[in-house]
A and B are shown apart, each in its own frame.
Chain A
């Protein structure tokens, strides 16, 4: 069974904090990985892709460990607007982009 597992949280952090989310995937054939963000009752939106070499986009850093089948997202200097659910996503890339989503990790940033 192809699954992506995440800690559901919620993670409650103060503004300015650094927070890290982890996720594991079971399908060793997965080739592409993403973090999506979903606000309450909204559609998921791509936050960033995840590469083996690790990648950074402003306050966000994503890492991939293929050997452990483990993905992480680090958010530095948290903002109130970062409050959302973060979805870990794996894609087998078997010729098309069917995505396997984790259930998401909720982040609540407080003043």
Chain B
């Protein structure tokens, strides 16, 4: 049973380009969470999705950031017109259908560097 798979592991983009980060949850998991870890900071929640639905996007920046989890395929976190401040590690986590105290399993992350 493969774990949470994220790709790419490392992504370099020039300012103004688009970044697309992909996350495939663990088998049997239908809930996906995206977190961002800025340098020297803790992980911050961005968005929670179920298949074809955004459940909670309270942590998403208002502009340039979007997320989806289509019926088929991985969840995508999309950052348009990247700026240097977007450089961070982006972690995806998945969990089975929500139960109390359910552990969320994290992928290895995508390290985005904006140059």
Pair B44/A32 contact, Cβ less than 8 Å: no
Near B by CB (< 8 A), chain A positions 51-98 give 87, 91, 93, 95-98
Which A residues touch B54, using CB under 8 A? none
Near B by CB (< 8 A), chain A positions 4-63 give 4, 31-32, 41-46, 49
The CA of A31 and the CA of B102, in the complex, are separated in Å by 12
Pair B98/A97 contact, Cβ less than 8 Å: yes
Number of A-B contacts (CB under 8 A): 58
Number of interface residues of A (CB under 8 A): 23
Is chain B's binding surface mostly helix, strand, loop or mixed?
Answer: strand
Q: How far is the CB of A102 from chain B (nearest CB, A)?
A: 6
Pair B42/A87 contact, Cβ less than 8 Å: yes
Q: How far is the CB of A76 from chain B (nearest CB, A)?
A: 24
Apart from A41-B89, A98-B48, A104-B42, 17 more pairs, CB < 8 Å: A31-B100, A42-B108, A43-B91, A43-B106, A43-B107, A87-B42, A87-B43, A95-B98, A96-B95, A96-B98, A97-B95, A97-B102, A97-B103, A98-B33, A99-B33, A99-B35, A103-B41
Using a CB–CB distance below 8 Å, which chain B residues touch chain A? 31, 33, 35, 40-45, 48, 55-56, 89, 91, 93, 95, 98, 100-104, 106-109, 111
